Amino acid sequence: MALSITFHALTSLLLFHVSLVSTATHTPHHHTSHSSNHLQKAYRALQAWKKVIYSDPKNLTGDWIGPSVCSYTGIFCAPSPSDQNTLVVAGIDLNHGDIAGFLPEPIGLLSDLALIHLNSNRFCGILPRSLSQLSLLYELDLSNNRFVGPFPDVVLSLPSLKYLDLRYNEFEGPLPPKLFSNPLDAIFVNNNRLTSLIPRDFTGTTASVVVFANNDFSGCLPPTIAHFADTLEELLLINSSLSGCLPPEVGYLYKLRVLDMSYNSLVGPVPYSLAGLGHLELLNLDHNMFTGAVPLGVCVLPSLQNLTVSDNYFSEEEGTCRNLTSRGIVFDDSNNCLPDKPHQRSHKVCEDVLDHPVDCYDHECSAVAPQASPFAAGPSLAPASAPAYT
């Protein structure tokens, strides 16, 4: 995933150059009266946060004592982007701390923050409205915690936010359409309790990575997914309770490298428009109810490395699709209805489905009734400790 390099992105390097940050925090010319004001506000915020931390088994906040906040574990300071002589708290990294507590309202005093990484803790409750004051925040990683409530729309008011990771929490209800009109580069909302339809309004979206997986959405993927065409490189909709046909507009996402639609209830043929995905490296259609042929146009994609079509009802493989492994492509077509192929479904099971073909041109997205997925659960997507830039 490629992100533009700005001050905010560069502050993530603090996580890998702690020694440089440490030097900066003790350089006298940084400590102007302006720095003092910013750091005093940070001190008040961090002390308020420490009071609502109930368990800290690794004692990461044990040294959060006194006004020298730049020496606190997990707190990183840097010169302000607006004044190089002003030292501010630019980053918080408490990943994998196993800390229990919640985020208090005074956290909004940390208005110079460019990144917050709280991956893999036990923070709970709802997100405070004061987060809206973090106008410089570029990365927000709250994954693998115990946050609850409806989708936290406070994150949609952050003007500089590019990386949003809310996976592995307990957020519930619908996704707000505004999520896709914000200038985000990466959206991770997988493994929550999100429901309702995937929003149809993708106008103005800029995301290159979108992960919806392991939620309880319903209905089908809207044709307006094509609005992602100029930016989207990875789309993961694993185990998202999707039904209906795969819209041909998916084939307009010409920058896609990864498309994973596995563990849903998608029906009908695979649209031939997918032959236009010249950058596609991985396509996973596993555990759906697709029928018809595995199209030749997909099998000859120039960048394809991994194609999984197992556990569907395909009855034909066109051309070179019959022997993709000879080209070094990882290929799984097991548990389909393919004659003369091993490890296929029984004739009776195939007949029950293939005798009732789905004509996708007769179905509008909303007209296809949602079906319960025939699969218990999809694979888990483990949270990453921090975003990776390449």
- Give residue-wise pLDDT tens across range 257-295: 999 999 999 999 999 999 999 999 999 999 999 999 999
Cβ atoms of residues 384 and 119 within 8 Å = yes
pLDDT per position in the chain (390 positions), as tens? 333 333 344 444 444 333 333 333 433 434 555 668 999 999 999 999 999 999 999 999 999 999 999 999 999 999 999 888 899 999 999 999 999 999 999 999 999 999 999 999 999 999 999 999 999 999 999 999 999 999 999 999 999 999 999 999 999 999 998 998 889 999 999 999 999 888 887 777 899 999 999 999 988 999 999 999 999 999 999 999 999 999 999 999 999 999 999 999 999 999 999 999 999 999 999 999 999 999 999 999 999 999 999 999 999 999 999 999 999 999 999 999 999 899 999 999 999 999 988 988 876 654 343 444 444 444 545 444 434 333
Domains of the chain by residue range: 47-286
The token pair that represents 377 in the structure block? 């659960």
pLDDT of residue 34: 63
pLDDT of residue 28: 40
pTM score of the predicted model = 0.86
- Spatial separation of the C-alpha atoms in residues 234 and 83, rounded to whole Å: 37
Residues 158-190: tens digit of each pLDDT: 999 999 999 999 999 999 989 988 899 999 999
pLDDT of residue 181: 87
Give me the architecture of the 47-286 domain, per CATH: Alpha-Beta Horseshoe (3.80)
Helix H or strand E encompassing 296:
helix 296-299
- Work out the number of other CB atoms within 10 angstroms of the CB of residue 182: 20
Report residue 335 CA to chain centroid gap: 30
pLDDT of residue 376: 42
- Of the candidates 376, 349, 362, the residue with the CA atom closest to the CA atom of residue 245: 362
Is the CA virtual torsion 121, 126, 129, 130 positive or negative? negative
- Work out the number of other CB atoms within 10 angstroms of the CB of residue 59: 10
